[in-house]
Amino acid sequence: MTGDLTIHRYPAGELRDGRGIDRWVFGTPGGVTAEVLSLGARLQSLHAPDRAGQRANVVLGGGSVAELLGEAAYFGATVGRYGNRIAGGELPLDGVVHRLATQSTGHTLHGGPDGFATRLWHGEELRVGQRTGVRLTLHSPAGDQGFPGALDVTVTYLLDRGGELTITYRAETDAPTVVNLTNHAYFNLGGEGSGPVLDHLLRVEADAYLPVDKTLIPLGAPEPVEGLPFDLTTAAGLGGRISAPHPQLWLAGDGFDHTWVLRPGPGLRLAATLHHPASGRRLDCLTTEPGIQVYTGNHFDGSLTGPGGTRYRAYAGIALETQHFPDSPHVPDYPSTVLRPGEVYESTTAYRFSVE
């Protein structure tokens, strides 16, 4: 891809209290371009070319501010303090059990009902070498959604000329707490609103996954994927895998909503590859995290309309959420999510686009 990297800032509506929402559009004209909102530090759109050079938005998005504060709150958002679930809204830490805000399931999901996805972040445009993007910051006070310790969070989006979007997370606290941040973009490489992603091929660099109970809390130890629909060690069609007769798929609503345990390795490493044969678009997801939650949009019911005017129905997009494991505060054998004063939480995920 050629051309100059550009970035522009625009207004994107207001909250009910009159605070304005900022929107940054950056990238390479004719190549990959990203749109990020200050509401939820959110990836609102991501345009990428197909093998013929035709560009399309490949992430789902809410069509209004009201939707981004409601049903579409997680679309493309930075979720936290704790991405995924904490069972029963109970956080045991250093001999004390902290009561967290919960959703209707009785569990704490993505940091609680008023998590980071609904917050207005402060942002500023950024240029780093041959990359451009935006840095967003948020202060979360002690007791926010029940979590102990004040937390200062920074999320940075940077896009290069080659079509790689890097998301970097950083956080510090003044008291022991837990942190597990991720991005909740839903991808459809055929284009937002183009139909279900069942024709996509997915490969995940993992030999095990975490089975769950009926409320999607992990049962405990990882289970090998060999011989199961969860074996994505070689690329497989999503439609065939999620239609397989397996109880774990039924529990999740006839699809994936599970964490894969990524093969360990140093630094930024390949976690998953998503490919859409019809358009040729390919997405490589790289991360420093130990796991990836794959959710195939099983519960979309047509109540949400995307920015392109199409209603989102089941399997309209797939989320590839790089993260630590769900409910790790209750499972000592899982990688720790505890952050203490003087430590720095750091995590990086990259989405690399290409065509085949």
Which residues are part of the catalytic machinery? 184, 321
Give the number of residues written for the chain. 356
**Closest-CA residue to 182 (of 325, 33, 334):** 325
For residue 230, the SS3 value is: coil
Tokens at residue 12, please? 């994107």
Residues 6+ apart with CB under 8 A from 64: 13
Q: Are 26 and 6 in contact (CB under 8 A)?
A: yes
CA distance between the termini of the chain: 15
Q: Are 353 and 283 in contact (CB under 8 A)?
A: yes
Tokens at residue 103, please? 């959703």
For residue 121, the SS3 value is: coil
Amino acid of residue 85: R
279 exposure class (CB count in 10 Å sphere: 0-12, 13-18, 19+)? buried
In whole angstroms, what is the distance from residue 240 CA to residue 46 CA? Answer: 27
In whole angstroms, what is the distance from residue 217 CA to residue 202 CA? Answer: 24
| Cα dihedral across residues 68, 71, 77, 80: positive or negative | positive
- The Cβ of residue 172 has, within 10 Å, a number of other Cβ atoms equal to 18
For residue 147, the SS3 value is: coil
